Amino acid sequence: MDDAATKKAYIIAIVVQIILAGMSVISKAAFDAGLSTFIFVFYRQAAGSILMLPLALILQRKNARSMPFGWLLKLFLCALVGNTLSLSLYNVSLKFTSATVAAAAGNSMPVFTFCLALLLRMEVVKPRSASGIAKLTGVALCLAGVFVIAFYSGPALSPVNHHRAFTANASASAGSVNTSSSNSRWIEGTFLMVLANVAWSLSIVWQAALLEEVPNRMLVATALCVFSAVQSFVVAVAAERDLSRWRLHLDASLLSVVYAGFVVTGVTYYLQAWCVVIKGPVFFAVWTPLCFVLTIFSSSFFLGEIVRLGSVVGGILLVGGLYSVLWGKNKESKVAASSSEVNMTADCTLDVDDEEHKKPNKYGLEEATSSALAGEQV
């Protein structure tokens, strides 16, 4: 039974990364075809709400009625930062840069989450320990990766396929790195991606605190999606007043909304949650770089995107930062577990009670962090 569950966890982790790689490529194609990033965020969140809200009302009706107003207000603000703001910045950045940069930047989310948790004293770093050195090294590698992507383009790598499935991207990709204006847009897009990840990481830490008050992940995810749909509608109306821009045609724009709203928000959310329960958030995080690799090939094959060496090198540095932080966290967890066993031997009853009391807070942060690792911002 354990072997079967483990095999399923491996398969699901790979499937989720394939889905997320597809989201970056399809969204990029839609933006290059003219779809407004703000309208896309609204349609995506609205589609996710249509999918998740009925399930939450059916499965969590009793719990939904007992949600306090103060908690809902916190969720509204959390959705404003972590969903509406983060997704808007992410999609503008994706329009300015490439699907490869978006996938590479996804590896920085747990690093930014760790930094914010450190500032809020939810994490501790011991600079002289192996785990502390690994964490600090991961942060340094992450920052280096961001600067390499922003300021170093390098030679171009030839596209895998010259016959593109989404032809709208051809002209944009081919000459996007030659003019000074496009170079400034690339740098701006890279740092907008960083800001998007910082906003999402802040909401991750915030969600961990909210889950301590009301430990119901389905209600939290549904409320965030619904609130974000309302907020993004207001933003989209203010940004795009031309009604013709709101129409979805039978092209990449409609495909991107359906794919992101139903497949990513719906299917990925439940697959990810199941995988985290079976194998834990660290196991899921290890597979994140696969999305980066798949996106490089997919964007080159389907979009004819010219991948630059700087994006690849920066992505490798970001992956190195991710694994360094994960190794430090894993090392720290093992040390903490061994220390707990010693303390339990000395005073079993007292230490068991204290340890069980502390576990939910730590798992709440790690479980929320796994959502960022999947790139799923619901």
Q: What is the pLDDT of residues 116-162, one digit of tens each?
A: 878 877 777 888 888 889 888 988 998 899 889 888 888 887 666 55
What per-residue confidence (pLDDT) applies to 260? 92
* 115 neighbors 139 (Cβ within 8 angstroms): yes
Residues 22-44 have a mean pLDDT of: 92
Which token pair is 47?
């589609």
Q: For residue 347, what is the DSSP state? A: S
Extents of the domains making up the chain: 2-373
Calpha distance 165→298 (Å, rounded): 11
Which token pair is 147?
């600067």
In this structure, the dihedral spanned by the alpha carbons of residues 9, 44, 150 and 159, taken in order and rounded to 10 degrees, is 70
pLDDT per residue over 49-80, tens digit each? Answer: 998 888 888 887 777 777 788 888 999 999 99
User: Is pLDDT above 60 for 300?
Assistant: yes
Name residue, tokens 């094959």: 301
User: Is pLDDT above 90 for 209?
Assistant: no
Cα-atom radius of gyration of the chain, to the nearest Å? 21
What per-residue confidence (pLDDT) applies to 157? 76
Question: 269-279 vs 2-32: helix axis angle to the nearest 10?
Answer: 150
* 191 neighbors 102 (Cβ within 8 angstroms): no
Q: CB count, 10 Å around CB of 261?
A: 22
Q: How many CA atoms lie within 13 A of 284 on its CB side?
A: 28
User: Which amino acid does the sequence have at 316?
Assistant: I
SS3 217: helix
Calpha distance 358→360 (Å, rounded): 6
**Residues with Cβ < 8 Å from 56, sequence gap 6 or more?**
64, 218, 219, 222
pLDDT per residue over 73-101, tens digit each? Answer: 999 999 999 899 999 999 999 999 888 88
Residues 21-32 have a mean pLDDT of: 91
* 41 neighbors 232 (Cβ within 8 angstroms): yes
**Secondary structure of the chain: what % helix, strand, coil (to 5)?**
85, 0, 15
**Most distant CA pair in the chain: distance in Å?**
71
Q: How many residues does the chain have?
A: 378
Mean pLDDT of the chain: 80
Calpha distance 206→204 (Å, rounded): 5
Calpha distance 353→362 (Å, rounded): 15
What per-residue confidence (pLDDT) applies to 179? 59
Q: How many CA atoms lie within 13 A of 34 on its CB side?
A: 9
* 346 neighbors 139 (Cβ within 8 angstroms): no
Calpha distance 31→170 (Å, rounded): 13
pLDDT per residue over 176-200, tens digit each? Answer: 445 566 788 888 998 999 899 889 8
Calpha distance 44→38 (Å, rounded): 10
What per-residue confidence (pLDDT) applies to 344? 62
User: Which amino acid does the sequence have at 199?
Assistant: A
What per-residue confidence (pLDDT) applies to 205? 80
User: Is pLDDT above 80 for 373?
Assistant: no
* 305 neighbors 158 (Cβ within 8 angstroms): no
Name residue, tokens 């821009």: 245
Element containing residue 307 per DSSP (H, E): strand 307-308
